[in-house]
Chain A
Amino acid sequence: MRNVDIVIVGASLAAAAAAKRTVDAGLETVILERKELPRHKICSGILSPRGHRFLLENFGPLPRETLHEPTSCRGVTFHFPSMVSMPMDFFHGTTPHLHRKYSDHWAIQRSGAEVHDQTSFAGLEDKGDHVLVHARKQGEPVVYRARQVIGADGPSSLVVRAVYPDYPKQIPWFFVGQKFHEIIDCPLSADYFHFWFHPGLGHYTWSHARDGRQIVGVGFKRGDNFAKKHAVVQQYLEDKHGVRLKPAGDDDEGCAENFGPSLINRYVFGKGNVLVTGQAAGFLNMIGEGMSCALHSGAISGEAVVEARLRNRPVQEMYRKMIASEVRRCSDQWNPLKIALEKPHEADFPAALMALSWRDRGKVLRDMWRFVVLFKEFKWGRQITSAALQRPILGSYSMQRWL
Chain B
Amino acid sequence: MHFGACVVGSEGFDASPGYDSLHSFHRMVLLKISLVEPGTVGPCPVAPDALQGIKRQQTNPARWKGAGWQAFVSALDAAGMELVEGAAACGVYATDAGGTAYGLPHGVVVARSAGQIASLLKAAQTHRVPVTVRGGGLTTEGESVAFGGVLLDMSGMSRVLHIDAKALTVRVEGGIFWHSLAEELRREDLDYLSAPLNLTSSVGGTLGVGGIDVNSARLGCSADQAIALQVVTPTGEIVECSDSQNQELFQRVILGYGQFGVITEATLRVRPYTPLSMHYFYYSSLATAIEDLQMLDRNDASDYSGILTIMDCAVNLLVAFDSDEREAAFKANWESRLRGYGEFGFALCMLGHYALRPWKLTEALYLLQRKREVFPEFRRAEYMRQGKMHDRTVVFSRAVWKHWGSRQMVIPDLATSADKFVAAVERGNAVCRKYFPRYTLYCVGIKLRPEHQAHYEMSCVPPDATGWAYGCEFEPIIDGEVYSRDHFQAFKNAIYDIGVDMGASYYRFGGMMKGYIRRVFGDALVDKHLALKRKADPAMILNRDVIF
Residues of A participating in the B interface, judged by any CB pair closer than 8 Å: 20-21, 23-26, 30, 37-38, 49, 52-53, 56-67, 71-72, 92-97, 102, 105-106, 109-115, 296, 299-300, 303, 306-307, 311, 318, 321-323, 325-326, 395
CB < 8 Å neighbour of B54 from A53, A102, A110, A325:
A53
CB neighbours (8 Å) of A52 from chain B are 46, 50-51
How many chain B residues sit at the interface, stated as a range, is 35 or more
Shortest CB–CB separation between residue A344 and chain B, in angstroms? Answer: 13
Residues of B within 8 A of A111 (CB): 16
Q: What residues on A are CB-neighbors of B28 within 8 Å? A: 109
12 A-B pairs whose Cβ atoms sit less than 8 Å apart in the complex: A52-B51, A71-B45, A71-B46, A72-B46, A109-B13, A110-B16, A111-B16, A112-B63, A114-B18, A114-B19, A311-B407, A325-B483
Which A residues lie within 8 Å of B14 (CB)?
A: 109-110
Whether A109 contacts B57 in the complex (CB less than 8 A), given A21-B102, A26-B90, A52-B51, comes out as no
Residues from chain A with Cβ under 8 Å of B42 in the complex: 61
Q: B102 contacts A24, CB within 8 Å? A: yes
Q: Is the interface of A mostly helix, strand, loop or mixed?
A: helix
The docked-state distance in angstroms from the alpha carbon of A49 to that of B46 is: 11
Shortest B45–chain A CB gap in Å is 4
Is there a chain A Cβ closer than 8 Å to B53's Cβ?
yes
A111–B16 Cα distance when bound, in Å, is: 8
Residue from A52, A61, A112, A299 whose CB has the most chain B CB atoms within 10 Å? A61
Check A62 against B58 for contact (C-beta < 8 Å).
no
B27, B50, B512 — which one has the most chain A CB atoms within 10 A of its CB?
B50
CB-nearest residue of chain A to B36: A61
A residues near B95, Cβ cutoff 8 Å:
25
Q: Are A26 and B49 in contact (CB under 8 A)?
A: no
The residue of chain B having its C-beta at the shortest distance from the C-beta of A108 within the complex is B16
Q: Which residues of A contact B103 (CB under 8 A)?
A: 24
CB <8 Å contact, A112 and B62: yes
Partner of B58 from A24, A58, A95, A303 at Cβ < 8 Å: A58
**Interface-located stretch among B210-218, B227-235, B250-258, B484-492:** B484-492
CA distance A291 to B482 in the complex (A): 24
Q: Is B57 a contact of A56 with CB atoms below 8 Å?
A: yes
Q: Which residue of A lies closest to B53 (CB)?
A: A92
| The 10 nearest A-B residue pairs measured at CB | A114-B18, A72-B47, A321-B482, A93-B52, A325-B487, A60-B58, A322-B484, A64-B45, A24-B102, A93-B49
Smallest CB-CB separation from A322: which chain B residue?
A: B484
Contact, CB under 8 Å: A65 / B49: no
- 1/0 per residue B21-45: CB within 8 Å of A? 0001001101111101000001011
Q: Contact check, B482 vs A38: say whether CB atoms are below 8 A apart.
A: no
Interface string of B120-163 (1 = CB under 8 A from A): 00000000000000000000000000010000000000000000
Residues of chain A contacted by B30 (CB below 8 angstroms): 38, 65, 102
Instruction: Collect the chain B residues with CB atoms within 8 Å of residue A57's CB.
Output: 57-60, 512, 515
User: Contact at A60–B62, with CB atoms within 8 Å?
Assistant: yes
Query: In whole angstroms, what is the CA distance A302 to B91 when docked?
Result: 17
